[in-house]
Amino acid sequence: MIFNTLSYFLLFLLPCAVAFRVVHAGIKPWICALFGIVFFVYFSVSELHGWLAAACVFIFVWESLFRQFYRPAHWTCLAGILISVLILFVFKYWNFATGLFTQPFGENPFHWSGIFLPLGVSFFTFEFIHYAADRYKGTVEKGTTGEYAAFIFFFPTMVAGPIKRFQDFAPCLRNPSRNWSLDWNRGITRILAGLVKKFALADLLTSMTDHLNTGDILAAERWVLCLWILAYGWKIYFDFSAYSDIAIGSARLFGIETPENFDWPYIRTNITDFWRHWHISLYRWLVDYVFIPLGGSRGTKPFVLRNLLIVMLVSGIWHGAGANFVVWGMWHGLLLIVHRIWSQRSGATVEKSVPSRLHRLPAWLATYAAVNFGWVFFCMDLDTASVFLWRLFGG
């Protein structure tokens, strides 16, 4: 985790935040961009492929240059979206995708043994796509080169989000909050909250949930497996929300507000509401750039339900390259479909289906259990997950 290193705080966050505060307004975007470039290179060279990974900084440079050609309803925006998708596909899904096609024939001749993941590739490509799509629709201003460079190189959100929107980020960049004491008080408090979540909670649960193998599963009692699922669910929540807290707090030191990512998702009483409060920036991105372009809630019921399933499949694949993530996405897609059908048949819209007090507890229990059941597929390959479920329910 980059956020728990002294390098992050002493070499990047504090110097950049202070410099951003004191320099002239016209230089502020370039301060963010410069520190972001150095950040990307610095933390990339420590990875397996070192300087090759660091060279991926040119992806950002290319995007900054190519976006100059984006105009409303122009083919360059569509080309930018396609290229961004290809970048994500090649680096993250190449071996998985080619393996699926060549599996019936044995060895995968297209396997790329030297493949690596550029730092934050899943997040920055989604921001590339957002900007190109909104430029195509004419709903976002072009902005200056410096503003766009700061947007894509803003290092607090580069690694683990939240996924930003240019139309929200640019005004904060131009007119950041000038209340130093309030911003630094709230920013540091948020960072400390994230560090406590990470070290005191997430890492403790990680030591309990990691390294589970088939032998452990076969030897464990059912109640132990149930506790393991619950522990993993809280581990991933504390881990990911800790990253978000540190990123949001870091941005606050600049006087910049970034989107919230988690809002007590485990207290929600239906799966739709859960997704509105779990990884919020991703959920909103999927709604705006997958669900709505597919037709959203317009059309026949099967058409809408298909859209829900596709959105969750995209969510699953975005989280990782593996068949287990596909199954996890399908599981949540099916949950959303069931909830939508139930809501419509009960005479309530999905947006207004708030359980009465009598039904709130069982609704919460059902939602919480369904979400935690899905973590089995999220954290294990399908073979291990099959053994886990067999042992949990039958073996």
The catalytic site residues sit at 319
CA angle 336, 340, 345 (to 5 degrees): 150
Taking CA 385 as the corner, what is the angle to CA 384 and CA 391, rounded to the nearest 5 degrees? Answer: 90
Q: Which two tokens stand for residue 323?
A: 């068949």
Write the CB contacts of 26 (distance below 8 Å, at least 6 apart in sequence).
146
Cβ atoms 367, 274 nearer than 8 A: yes
Place of tokens 């339900």: 305
In Å, how far are 91, 124, 164, 178 from 151, measured between CA atoms? 22, 10, 8, 20
Print burial letters for 365-374: b (CB count within 10 Å at least 16), e (below 16): ebbbebbbeb
Please, are residues 164 and 151 in contact by the beta-carbon 8 Å criterion? yes
From 15, 16, 11, select the one nearest 31 (Cα to Cα): 16
Q: Are 330 and 317 in contact (CB under 8 A)?
A: no
| Cα separation, 293 vs 213, whole angstroms | 41
Backbone angles phi, psi at 362, to 5 degrees: -65, -35
Radius of gyration of the chain from Cα atoms?
22
- How many CB atoms neighbour CB 160 within 10 A? 21
Residue tagged 């920055």 (tokens): 124
Query: Tokens for 355?
Result: 């359980």
Half-sphere exposure of residue 259: CA atoms within 13 angstroms, side-chain side: 22
Which residues are within 8 A (CB) of 228 and not within 5 positions of it... i.e. 6 or more apart?
208, 209, 212, 220
Which H or E element spans position 354? none
Evaluate whether 235 touches 209 at the Cβ level (below 8 Å): yes
**Structural tokens at position 83:** 């290229």
- Tell me the one-letter amino acid at 277: H
